């Protein structure tokens, strides 16, 4: 059951994070002109797919969590028990609200001319509400709220990063066709600025969460949770190395108007794709950790 719970959490986290990051991208890295309009059209299709995926995986993740709580998959065929969990537990109430948010997001995303601002707000709430159903329930009082706040910031930073990577992958071919290599460098520069901030938030909130959940070096080195956390950190370091390479190598090359811009745009798309792949593996580790008992509870 651990594998099923971890897998459903991973897919749901990925869909919700990518949706948020894709919607947030135009806020800090707008692309003017025809390339921007074409990229927005392509991104709109991805937003609709991710909105539906977010809602569908929320249902699957809730079903896996209920099965894990009750120990019986037959519970999913008992509407009365499911309603009792949704109405009578903090976990259930949080997920009930999240399902409502997911439905609203899908309805809004499927409109012919969706309100991007409202959609972005709802996607933000949908993502950070995950923080209310995680390991923060282990604490109480002010420490619990501090943990929830740190979780919410951690989720937003991760979503902005990996969702921004998806936006770049969708945008690069449009810029290549329009011959706007300079615009690619500018967008990459803006994304890098956001990335520095996101990395800082991820590190600070990650340290705080580790202090709460891992407690000490023994908890890191001698538990499955700690081992998974170390794998997550290694993947995170790989993402950081690729991001630094993009900033120090590819961005200056594109800014200098190279003789073969398609070569550099191809390199950029390859590195961004690998970086996104590592980001998804990080989310897989997060999904697995969320299904485990952290050292602090053992």
pLDDT digits (tens, 9 = 90+) for 30-65: 776 666 677 677 788 899 999 999 999 999 888 888
Residues 19-33 have pLDDT tens digits of 999 999 988 887 766
Report which of residues 291 and 138 the model is more confident about: 291
pLDDT at 115 (0 to 100):
57
pLDDT at 142: 83
Average pLDDT over residues 226-253: 89
Q: Is the pLDDT of residue 158 over 90?
A: yes
Question: If pLDDT is split at 50, 70 and 90, which confidence band does 280 have?
Answer: very high
User: What integer pLDDT is reported at residue 236 of this predicted model?
Assistant: 93
More confident residue, 260 or 15: 15
What is the rounded CA–CA span in Å between residue 292 and residue 2? 8
**Averaged pLDDT score across all residues of the chain:** 84
User: Residue 177's pLDDT is what?
Assistant: 65
Position 157 confidence tier, pLDDT thresholds 50, 70, 90: very high
The mean pLDDT of 164-176, rounded to a whole number, is 83
What domain range is 220 assigned to?
2-297
**Residue 259, pLDDT above cutoff 80:** no
How many domains does the structure of the chain reveal? 1
pLDDT in tens, 79-132: 888 888 888 888 888 889 999 999 999 999 988 565 578 999 999 999 999 988
- pLDDT value at residue 202: 94
Q: Is 30 left (phi over 0), alpha (psi -120 to 50) or beta?
A: beta
pLDDT over 80 (residue 276): yes
Give residue 182's pLDDT: 60
Q: Is the pLDDT of residue 216 over 70?
A: yes
């Amino acid at each position: 059951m651990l594998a099923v719970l971890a897998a459903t959490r991973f897919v749901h986290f990925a869909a919700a994070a990518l949706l948020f990051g894709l919607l947030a991208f135009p806020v800090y890295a707008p692309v003017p002109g025809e390339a921007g309009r074409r990229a927005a059209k392509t991104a709109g299709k991805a937003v609709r797919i991710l909105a539906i995926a977010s809602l569908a995986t929320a249902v699957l993740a809730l079903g896996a969590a209920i099965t894990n709580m009750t120990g019986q998959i037959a519970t999913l065929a008992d509407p009365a028990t499911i309603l009792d969990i949704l109405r009578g537990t903090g976990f259930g109430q949080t997920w009930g609200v999240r399902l409502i948010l997911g439905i609203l997001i899908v309805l809004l995303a499927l409109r012919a001319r969706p309100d991007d601002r409202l959609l972005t707000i709802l996607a933000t709430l949908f993502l950070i509400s995950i923080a209310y159903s995680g390991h923060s329930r282990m604490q109480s009082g002010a420490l619990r709220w501090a943990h929830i706040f740190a979780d919410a910031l951690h989720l937003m930073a991760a979503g902005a990063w990996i969702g921004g990577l998806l936006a770049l992958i969708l945008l690069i071919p449009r810029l290549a066709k329009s011959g706007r290599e300079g615009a690619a460098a500018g967008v990459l520069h803006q994304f890098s600025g956001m990335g520095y901030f996101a990395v800082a938030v991820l590190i600070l909130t990650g340290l705080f969460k580790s202090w709460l959940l891992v407690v000490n070096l023994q908890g890191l080195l001698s538990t499955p949770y700690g081992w998974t956390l170390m794998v997550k950190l290694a993947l995170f370091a790989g993402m950081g190395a690729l991001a630094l390479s993009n900033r120090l190598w590819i961005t200056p090359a594109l800014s200098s108007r190279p003789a073969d811009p398609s070569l550099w745009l191809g390199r950029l798309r390859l590195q961004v794709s690998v970086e996104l792949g590592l980001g998804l593996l990080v989310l897989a580790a997060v999904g697995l950790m969320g299904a485990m008992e952290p050292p602090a509870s053992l």
